[in-house]
Amino acid sequence: MTRIGVGGIFIECNHFAGHLADLSAFERSELLYGEELAAKNTGVIGGMVSVLEQEDWEPVPLLYASACPGGMVEARTYEKLKGELLSLLANADELDGILLCLHGAGSAQNAPDLEGDLVHAVRELVGDSVPIVATLDLHAHVTPELLTNADVLLAWETYPHADAFETGQRGARAIVDILAGRLNPVMAMAKVPVVVSAINGRTRLPGPFAEIMNEAKRIERQRDLYSVNPILVHPYLDQPDMGGGVMVVANGNLAEATSIAQSLAEQYWEKRFAFQANTLSPREAIGRGSQLEGGPVLLVETADCCGGGAAGDSVHSLRALLEIAPDSPAIVPVVDPIAAQMAYDAGAGRRVIIRLGHQVDPQWGEPINVEGVVSRLSDGRFTYQGGIWDGRSSCMGPSAVFEIGPIQVLISSNATYDWKTEQLDRLELDIPKSKFIVVKNPMNYQQAYSKVMKAAFILDTPGPTPVNTNSLTYTKMNSQWFPRDWTMMNTKPVVMSSTARYSPS
Ligand SMILES: [Zn+2]
């Protein structure tokens, strides 16, 4: 029976966030071994397993660890996860292939390029005769170490991300094709130094990234290429050679893969200005929203996006609401375990003064002292409704609704990913009745609130996931990149390529 090792470490990291991702971040999310891993029927791993079962092949579970985006992975946590994955791999009887679910923007204190380091270690263990296929988020930072040690890398094709299962299936089919002798994979990745926020990175038209995605898929079909994957690099890593671009997997023909990756990356460069967005201060946005009839008006505080690795603890928008719209019904999410504990200690129904905000990653602002009523308490457990974590349970930890007049603050203890409105629904917050809702992500709110929102204003506030990447202090990035330098002209893509290991039989 054909046996395929299945596992991975999946996390998106933020080098500007001050907090680390430790083992508890994975334990709260997903840390799967053995039967539990092999039985997964959702997400990337579920997609991989479904294809292996169709083939009557055996998925050999290694380790699968995933966590909500955060700061860097703590050194000893990465050491432990990597060590366990490798030792399970070393102790598995002979394997015919390896399938890994990775993000591509992971970074550990002791391995800045987490995925490159991990795949390199797996390659050293299994040698050149065992194919390694890995799936990535399209927000990956693809490095030469990752590209040369993997045989096939396939990225998600949707943002908002809705194709995790399908991408897992694509990954597993690539292993099937390699082992059947139908695929001799070669890869080329062309990058241009465009490091921009994901705010205009949706894959459905209109938008610059959607145009690149459509063109990539058109060429994939027309030229019968194995896969053409646009990559909008996660902009909050501070690494050399960052950039967006296109990764092409071809069957044997590296020259063709290279020229197509190159020409699509050139188109990416031409579209760079369209990735930028206009922003407002919280006060300007609230002022404009107040002029509109009804609500909800979304205040999009992207700089504090848990889904991009921020702590979620900002109160910049809340402060502005308290100053200029204290009588408007509003919902504001704030991650603050200390304030959540104070709410719990006070108890439901009690009026207290709470110190709130900027207590997880204090570098981006000052806490505020606010008086209000603890109206509800919750253990914070909820289930994701769709997206990459569809059906998976998650936990905000001890959480409270804290009412400052008509402004309801959802105080939670842990950062969680914003897919739809699961967290707000869990605490029974009334979305349609709100005049303002603070949302802390650059993309998913567009679908979550599409039917109810009156307007959405993109804010410019301090934080590690801002719309304007130019406001961050990168130290490892190459000196010239867009939008740091708006005058760069005629930039040619940098091309990397993989190693060919298998010949069609
Ligand atoms: Zn992503």
- Residue 150 has a pLDDT of 98
Ligand 1 center to residue 280 CA distance, Å? Answer: 25
Would you say 15 and 308 are in contact if contact means Cβ atoms under 8 Å apart? no
Q: Does the structure show a pLDDT above 80 at 91? A: yes
Ligand 1 center to residue 163 CA distance, Å? Answer: 11
Tens digit of each residue's pLDDT (9 = 90 or more) over 104-114: 999 999 999 99
Ligand 1 center to residue 139 CA distance, Å? Answer: 5
Ligand 1 center to residue 138 CA distance, Å? Answer: 6
Instruction: Give the integer Cα–Cα distance in Å for 293 and 327.
Output: 15
- Residue 293 has a pLDDT of 97
Ligand 1 center to residue 443 CA distance, Å? Answer: 10
Instruction: Give the integer Cα–Cα distance in Å for 140 and 246.
Output: 11
Ligand 1 center to residue 386 CA distance, Å? Answer: 14
Q: How far is CA 191 from the centre of its chain?
A: 20
Ligand 1 center to residue 156 CA distance, Å? Answer: 8
Ligand 1 center to residue 22 CA distance, Å? Answer: 20
- Residue 504 has a pLDDT of 53
Ligand 1 center to residue 286 CA distance, Å? Answer: 29
Over the chain, what is the mean pLDDT?
96
Ligand 1 center to residue 406 CA distance, Å? Answer: 34
Coil, strand or helix: which one is 458? strand
Ligand 1 center to residue 392 CA distance, Å? Answer: 17
The identity of residue 63, as a single letter, is L
Q: Does the structure show a pLDDT above 50 at 227? A: yes
Instruction: Give the integer Cα–Cα distance in Å for 154 and 140.
Output: 11
Ligand 1 center to residue 223 CA distance, Å? Answer: 27
Name every residue whose Cβ is closer than 8 Å to that of residue 157 and which is 6 or more positions away in sequence: 138, 163, 167, 203, 213, 217, 229
Would you say 416 and 306 are in contact if contact means Cβ atoms under 8 Å apart? yes
Ligand 1 center to residue 341 CA distance, Å? Answer: 31
| Residue 389 binned pLDDT confidence (cut-offs 50, 70, 90) | confident
Neighbours of 219 (CB within 10 A): 17
Ligand 1 center to residue 448 CA distance, Å? Answer: 16
Helices assigned H by DSSP within 181-253:
208-222
Ligand 1 center to residue 231 CA distance, Å? Answer: 10
Ligand 1 center to residue 287 CA distance, Å? Answer: 32
- Residue 500 has a pLDDT of 84
Q: Does the structure show a pLDDT above 60 at 505? A: no
Ligand 1 center to residue 352 CA distance, Å? Answer: 39
Task: Determine whether 1 is exposed, middle or buried from the number of CB atoms within 10 Å of its CB (0-12, 13-18, 19+).
Answer: exposed
Ligand 1 center to residue 210 CA distance, Å? Answer: 14
Global pTM reads 0.96
Name every residue whose Cβ is closer than 8 Å to that of residue 46 and which is 6 or more positions away in sequence: 40, 165, 168
Structural domains in the chain plus CATH codes: 3-275+493-497 (3.40.50.2300), 282-467 (no CATH)
Ligand 1 center to residue 182 CA distance, Å? Answer: 30
Would you say 264 and 422 are in contact if contact means Cβ atoms under 8 Å apart? no
Ligand 1 center to residue 194 CA distance, Å? Answer: 16
Ligand 1 center to residue 201 CA distance, Å? Answer: 10
- Residue 254 has a pLDDT of 96
Tens digit of each residue's pLDDT (9 = 90 or more) over 121-142: 999 999 999 999 999 999 999 9
- Identify the helix (H) or strand (E) that includes residue 264: helix 254-270
Q: Alpha-carbon Rg of the chain, whole angstroms?
A: 23
Ligand 1 center to residue 5 CA distance, Å? Answer: 24
Q: Does the structure show a pLDDT above 60 at 428? A: yes
Ligand 1 center to residue 136 CA distance, Å? Answer: 9
